[in-house]
Every structure is written in C-alpha cells, then in structure tokens.
A and B are shown apart, each in its own frame.
Chain A
C-alpha cells in the first residue's frame, strides 16, 4: 500500500478519534468505580441508650437482619467507641477519657451498611425507612446517617455520571461522523482507480476488495496506536500524576479498560468506518456508470 496524504490523515484522525472514545469511556468507567467507593462509605449509626440490656440489643439486631438490603451490621461497644474517640482526638483525649462520667456518656451503637449495588438515592430512602422504623424503639437513643450529605452526594453522583455519559456519547457520535466522512474522502480519491479497474475487467468484488483493504490496514494500525496512547495516558495518571498530586486513593483504584470493552468500542467504530466506505464505493461505481449494461 502506497501512503498518500489522505491515507496518513485518515490514520491520524482514526487514531485520535479512537483515543478520545477510549479515554472518555475510561473516564466514565472510573467515575463509576470511584463513586462506588464513596457510596460504600454511607453508613447508618443507631446509638443505644446506656441502660440497654443484651436481650434488647439482640432483638434490635434481629429485626435489622430481616431486611435483605442490609449488607452488614456491626456492633460498636462503648470501649471501641472510646478507643475511636481517643484516636480522633489524639493527645487531647487523655484528660477527657480519664473522667469516668465522660466515658459513661459514650454510647454503644449498631452500625448498618447497605448493599453496595443500591444507588445513593435508594440508600437514602432506605436509611430514612430504618430510622422511622426504629425511632420509637425504647432502646434507641438516636439514629444518624448524614441525610443532607447523602442527598448532596446523590445529586453530585448523578451529575457526574450524566456528564461522563454525555461526554462519551458526544465524542462517539462526532468521531463516528468524522471517521465515516474521512472514509468517503478516501474512496473519492480512488475514483479514477475504480474507473480503470472496471474498464479492464475487474468485478465489483475485486473493486471492493482492492479499495477496502487499505481501510483494514489503516484501521488496524489506528486501533493499535490508540490503545497504546490510551494505556500510556492511564499509566501516566496512575503512576505519576495522581501520586505527585497526593491523590494516592485515586492512583490505587483507577482501572484500565478490559479487553472486551476495548474490542467493543473499536468494533463499533470499525463498523461505521467500513459502512461509510462501502456506501461511498457503491455510489462511486453507480455514478461512474461503469456497469451500464448491468
């Protein structure tokens, strides 16, 4: 295959198009992963009264266990709570903890975590339901789950996911359009070749094969280049940028696209590019009236 400027342009456009689609999808995927971590942190704490007996506590836990949306129930004893308290306050806690009255004020609690598959909105609704259900229970002193925070987070979560999806969709549509247009331009450039081939006895199949083969080469090369660039970008952010900026959590948890994801995206783009090229070829053959007798 001889490289013309249009073929080089097609290679560049296809490569960058695929890079944009792959990176935007990787962005969308990682937003979902990272938001999942935040959602998992949403917990409901049921603070028990100081004089709660073991039987009363057991009954409350048993009631919670009947709910299938609850993933985990953890009892935090007064000693554990005091230890956490001490850990949070550091050296300032020593004076306070030594006072028995203050230690007595730290309640025992039951911490409830919901299934991670639930959306943040559903989690919020579920927490509200549990709170309503347990508020009148005599052993419960207070129930807390940061209602406003979860509501805010829910909005942020939806906005971010929507933005990720929008970015991916807009980029994909633009890229498909540009790629199909480039394919048509390349076929237009081959108009003389199509005419000559048909005049010296080439069948339609030969003309299609002859003209589509460069697309396969260029597309294969573009797929390899774009996957390498996307992986390079991922590697840089994971191992350099996020670490340098102090975002260890992000560096640890972002993920690259897996093989089926890359293949699916590349195949969709390939389908559009080849469709564009085939349609252009078909119309070029018809326009040139090269098979007037058919």
Chain B
C-alpha cells in the first residue's frame, strides 16, 4: 500500500526533515508512527498526501507513483485516502452532517445512500445527536470525532491520521480504536501518528519510530 524508497526531504539548504527513509506498509496493515515533536511525522504525512514532494526518493501509495502523478490525478489519488488532521480542518460553515458527508458529495457515487452512511458513522462515533450543529459549537473531542467520521465515510483504502485520539478521553479513545480495527478488518490500511503509548499495546499492530527524520524502530506489538 505504501512504499517509500530512500526518501529525503530537505527544507532550505540544510534542514533535513527526513533522511533516507525506507518503509513498506502492506494492504490492511495497522501501523502506528511514533516519535518526538520535530521527528518528521507531519512531513511524512504531507508527502503521502501529495501536499509536498520529496527532495529525492520514490513514493508509491495505493498504486500511484507520486513522483510521476499526472496533471489532474491528485484529487482522484486523494479520494483513496482518508485524512484525520491534527487541527481537524472542519468546514465551519457546514453542519456536522454536511462535514461528514462531504467526501461522498465529492465522489458523487449515485449508488451510495449518503445520508444513511453518514448517520451510521455518526452513530458509531457517538455524534448522531449533534448532526445539525456547527463545528464552532462543539468541543475539541467532538470535532475530532467528526474529522474521523469524515475520513472513514468513503471507505478509503488508506487512512492517515495525525493524533486522532489526542483530545479524547480514554473511553472514547478506545471506542475510536475499535472503529478503526473494524475498518481494518474490511481491508483499510491505517497509518496513525500518536503520542498515546496506551494505543501501542494493541495486538498485531506495527509500530514505526521516527527520530530526527530517520527511522529508528520498526516492531510488531
């Protein structure tokens, strides 16, 4: 699903965010990415989301070679991925329901019952009562759950999440991880950056550790 070969990312003349990164994540794998602040986690996610290009090296994600992504392919590539951003990136002028259903509106697949799918996910993240609220009236944890529901609604092949449980209490974190595992069983690949070391004890998950832009650990929990 994700193949990174000798990836370097340098900002300016000599600030190396990533150095010779070689990672291979297979389809359906559940991978955590850990490391201190400034380790390069966000930079790696930017490369995977086709937001930035690597300075050198090859990236292949979901069958797309990002080095040679053709004009106009970026949106279609991004539709295969679900993103949970650290700052949620919810649209403030849309309700919870409208935010969650947005990826389906973009894909515009007429065979999908958008409303039903959105309501099911809102139920699973415990926000069905808040479907008509605007994000500004939600707590940080509630906004985070909206972002998670939005990332999962179109059944992406890959879910990339930056601190998806950072603002959730332990009970809700557990519920969200349970939801992730359910999707993982259906074949979705998860790549999750976290500081929550309790999550790393989950069985059969892979943990990659970054430090100063280099891969310093790769283990199965």
Contact = CB atoms under 8 A, between A and B. Distances in A.
Contact residues on A (Cβ < 8 Å of other chain), bracket = 20 to 34
Query: Most chain-B Cβ atoms within 10 A of its Cβ — which of A197, A291, A292, A293?
Result: A293
B66 A203 contact: no
Contacts of B49: 199
Given A294-B71, A294-B72, A200 B102 contact: yes
A292 B53 contact: yes
A195 B87 CA distance: 13
Contacts of A203: 72, 75, 106
Q: Tell me what chain A mostly uses at the interface: helix, strand, loop, or mixed.
A: loop
Interface in B54-79: 66, 69, 71-79
Contacts of B93: 2, 4, 193
Given A292-B53, A293-B69, A197 B106 contact: yes
Contacts of A192: 89, 91-92
A261 B69 CA distance: 50
A196 interface: yes
Contacts of A290: 51
Interface string B21-63: 0000000000000000000000000000111110000000000
Contacts of A294: 69, 71-72, 74
A90 interface: no
A246 interface: no
Interface string A1-43: 0101000000000000000000000000000000000000000
B9 interface: no
Query: Most chain-A Cβ atoms within 10 A of its Cβ — which of B73, B75, B90, B91?
Result: B75
Interface of A: 2, 4, 192-193, 195-204, 206, 289-294
Q: Tell me what chain B mostly uses at the interface: helix, strand, loop, or mixed.
A: loop
B83 to A, nearest CB: 6
B91 A199 contact: no
A4 B71 CA distance: 34
Given A192-B89, A293-B74, A294-B71, A200 B53 contact: no
Given A2-B93, A293-B53, A200 B74 contact: no
B140 interface: no
Contact of B91 (A196, A198, A206): A196
A200 B106 contact: yes
A174 B50 CA distance: 42
B187 to A, nearest CB: 19
Interface in B73-120: 73-79, 83, 85, 89-94, 102-103, 106-107
Given A200-B150, A202-B75, A292 B51 contact: yes
Query: Most chain-B Cβ atoms within 10 A of its Cβ — which of A196, A198, A200, A292?
Result: A200
Contacts of B75: 198, 201-204, 206
Contacts of A199: 49, 51, 78, 83, 85, 89
Given A293-B50, A294-B72, A294-B74, A202 B106 contact: yes
Interface string B126-167: 000000000000000000000000100000000000000000
Contact of A201 (B53, B79, B89, B90): B79
A194 to B, nearest CB: 10
Contacts of A292: 50-53
Given A200-B102, A201-B106, A291 B89 contact: no
25 contacts: A2-B93, A192-B92, A193-B91, A197-B102, A198-B78, A199-B49, A199-B78, A199-B83, A199-B85, A199-B89, A200-B83, A200-B102, A200-B150, A201-B106, A202-B75, A202-B106, A206-B75, A290-B51, A292-B51, A292-B53, A293-B53, A293-B69, A293-B73, A294-B69, A294-B71
A198 B74 CA distance: 9
Contacts of B102: 197, 200
Nearest to A193: B91
A192 B79 CA distance: 19
A254 to B, nearest CB: 44
A290 B69 CA distance: 14
A201 B83 CA distance: 10
Contacts of A198: 74-75, 78
A199 B82 CA distance: 9
Contacts of B103: 200-201
Nearest to A294: B71
B173 to A, nearest CB: 24
B107 A293 contact: no
